[in-house]
Amino acid sequence: MSDKPWGGVFHEATDRRVEEFTQSVSFDQRLYAHDIRGSIAHARMLAKTGVISTEECRQIVAGLEQIGHDIAAGQFAFRRELEDVHMNIERALVERIGDVGRKLHTGRSRNDQVSTDLRLWCRDQVDAICAAIIELQRAFVGRADREDADVILPGYTHLQRAQPVLAAHYWLAYCEKLQRDRERLADCRRRVNQLPLGTAALAGTTIPIDRQIVADELGFEGILANSLDSSGDRDFVLELASVLATIAVHLSGWAEEWILWSTTEFGFLKLPQQFCTGSSIMPQKINPDVLELIRGKAGRVIGNLTGLLVLMKGLPLAYNRDLQEDKERLFDSVDTMLACLELAAPLVAEAELNREAIASRLDRGYLDATTLMEYLILRGVPQRTAHEIIGRLVATAMQRRVPLADLPLEEFQSAHASLDKSVFDVLGVEHAVEAFTSFGSTNPKQVEQQLAAWRERLNQGTKLISHRDDTND
Ligand code: ARG
């Protein structure tokens, strides 16, 4: 008997270099638990449809379970010459239970098997990533319960001072981005959670299988309908890698912002020392390396997505061995983002805003200029005219190196007759923040409402960690 499960037709042994080149067990062994789960479901289905006997099924299931325990305990030697995790487990089964084990692969191929395993694995990872995002959202919302909740921050566009925003508004901005990421994950999960097993190699099988039984057993929401499509489809991998890249981009932008904020030049933020590292030469350094790596790791996650897209392009139907190259990139994106999210949450929770440093410079940058312009508009001045008038007032204030609120009343009145002493009610960042009225604005009452909604949503979040309806709240 040949050493390879596919060896019948061959009359020459595989070149050792080919074995090494084609093996995937060195990295796909992490799919072992999902492979075993899938195989048990397949065996049970074969017994229910009468393809194998109940006793044969019992032996196969017991053998697979035992192999699972051995692998978990580190007592299983994966053999590279057996290519992948699937053939390693199947070979071990035959070695343990004899010929009955040779029936397991009835009505399936490794093509639908690997896709099933990978989908089961992705489903678990989507749930884990979702749970990690919820923790990060909680960290952001949790900041609003601290004493720095009422801090006013300069909001930026083009990294130039623009308009004032409440710190809580800023925290919630990231919650919104992360919420969309959760929605994307939930949506991706629906397409991940479709059963390919039973499509066999590419065309289906003549064996009387029942795919619905397998789908029910494994918790798949649906069964993929076209064997030629599903046996080689990896859209779900692309989709998950793409959602992960989007999360990476969100975290990277946040990390960049906090790296800047923690500089002496900004001085907005004190990072917790447990999340910083030092310099081997400069004794005074406390560096934001974790944030820098979160920013940097976005590069590899984006690279993984690009690599996967290039891998998939130009592949004819159905399975091609190229697809084996999907795993390391996907694994890397998942591992990377779980690690980033896990560190981001405590960093967000424990960093401290430097209230004084922030407050002492809030009167710079004319953060209240737009509010003053809108004050004029509300008194009937056309927007373009109001913009011009306030622009000139700002220029005057700049020349005198004072904030708008320090200009004398006469200056405002000569700029426009309807600028009376009530301008001082909208000048200064505290007034400016209060003056906002629109839904979704940084007005304190608006922000309070949003905060309440977020607290509520995230409280519900605990029970939703693994579920797709968690974004419909
Ligand atoms: N290890 C392969 C993969 O990861 C699955 C095996 C399919 N191989 C084959 N010759 N049909 O894609």
pLDDT at 145: 81
Per residue, the 3-state secondary structure of the chain, as one string, reads CCCCCCHHHCCCCCCHHHHHHHCCHHHHHHHHHHHHHHHHHHHHHHHHCCCCCHHHHHHHHHHHHHHHHHHHCCCCCCCHHHCCHHHHHHHHHHHHHHHHHHHCCCCCCHHHHHHHHHHHHHHHHHHHHHHHHHHHHHHHHHHCCCHHHHCEEEEEECCEEEEEEEHHHHHHHHHHHHHHHHHHHHHHHHHHCEECCCCCCCCCCCCCCCHHHHHHHHCCCEECCCHHHHCCCCHHHHHHHHHHHHHHHHHHHHHHHHHHHCCCCCCCEECCHHHCECCCCCCCCCECHHHHHHHHHHHHHHHHHHHHHHHHCCCCCCCCHHHHHHHHHHHHHHHHHHHHHHHHHHHHHHCEECHHHHHHCCCCCCCCHHHHHHHHHHCCCCHHHHHHHHHHHHHHHHHHCCCHHHCCHHHHHHHCCCCCHHHHHCCCHHHHHHHCCCCCCCCHHHHHHHHHHHHHHHHHHHHHCCCHHHHCC
Strand ranges, E, within 136-295: 152-157, 160-166, 194-195, 222-223, 269-270
Q: How confident is the model at residue 463 (pLDDT cuts 50, 70, 90)?
A: very low
Q: How many CB atoms lie within 10 A of CB 374?
A: 18
pLDDT at 325 over 80: yes
Beta bridge partners of 164: 154
Q: Check if the beta carbon of residue 188 is closer than 8 Å to that of residue 333.
A: no
Lowest mean pLDDT among 26-30, 143-147, 257-261, 466-470: 466-470
Output 4 or 310, whichever has higher pLDDT. Answer: 310
What confidence tier does 5 reach under pLDDT thresholds 50, 70, 90? Answer: confident
At residue 466, the pLDDT reads 41
Q: What is the pLDDT of residue 151?
A: 96
pLDDT at 460: 80
Q: Which helix (H) or strand (E) holds 352?
A: strand 352-353
Helices (H), ranges, 262-368: 289-312, 326-350, 355-360
Note the pLDDT tens digit of each residue in 93-104: 999 999 999 999
Average pLDDT over residues 46-73: 98
Cα–Cα distance measured from residue 439 to residue 447, given in angstroms and rounded to the nearest whole number: 9
pLDDT at 400: 97
Pocket test for ligand 1, best of 78, 108, 110, 237 (most atoms within 8 A of CB): 110
Ligand 1 contact, 45 CB (< 6 A)? no
pLDDT at 472: 40
111 lines ligand 1 (CB under 6 A): yes
Angle at 255 between CA 346 and CA 127, to 5 degrees: 55
User: Quick check: 17 pLDDT over 70?
Assistant: yes
In which band, very low, low, confident or very high, does the pLDDT at 3 lie, cut at 50, 70 and 90?
confident
Selecting among 11, 158, 280, 438, the annotated active-site residue is 158
Residue-wise pLDDT tens digits, 147-204:
777 899 999 999 999 999 999 999 999 999 999 999 999 999 999 999 999 999 999 9
- 113/118 Cα distance (integer angstroms): 9
- Ligand 1 centroid–CA 111 distance in Å is 6
Tell which one of 84, 308, 322 to mutate to probe ligand 1, the residue whose CB is within 8 A of the most ligand atoms: 84
The pLDDT confidence band at residue 144, using thresholds 50, 70 and 90, is confident
Task: Say which DSSP state 403 is in.
Answer: -
Give kind and range of the element (H or E) at residue 100: none
The model's pTM is 0.95
Average pLDDT over residues 230-235: 96
pLDDT band at 239; cut points 50, 70, 90:
very high
Name the catalytic one among 2, 26, 279, 422. Answer: 279
Task: Check residue 470 and give its pLDDT.
Answer: 43
Task: Using pLDDT thresholds of 50, 70 and 90, give the confidence band for residue 82.
Answer: very high
Six-digit token pair at 60?
């196969």
Report the pLDDT value the prediction gives residue 464, as an integer from 0 to 100.
44
Q: For residues 387-405, give the mean pLDDT.
A: 98
Q: Is the pLDDT of residue 22 over 80?
A: yes
**Average pLDDT score over the chain:** 95
Q: What is the pLDDT of residue 471?
A: 40
Lowest mean pLDDT among 50-54, 127-131, 273-277: 273-277
* 158 classed as catalytic: yes
181 lines ligand 1 (CB under 6 A): no
Please state the atom number of ligand 1 nearest to the C-alpha of residue 6.
Answer: 10
Closest residue by Cα to atom 12, ligand 1, is 324
* Whole-number pLDDT of residue 461: 59
Ligand 1: which of 26, 105, 114 to mutate, judged by most atoms within 8 Å of the beta carbon?
114
C-beta 179 within 6 A of ligand 1: no
Tokens describing residue 287: 């560096």
Does 88 sit in the ligand 1 pocket, CB within 6 Å? no
Cβ–ligand 1 contact at 113 (below 6 Å)? no
Residue 169 designated active-site: no
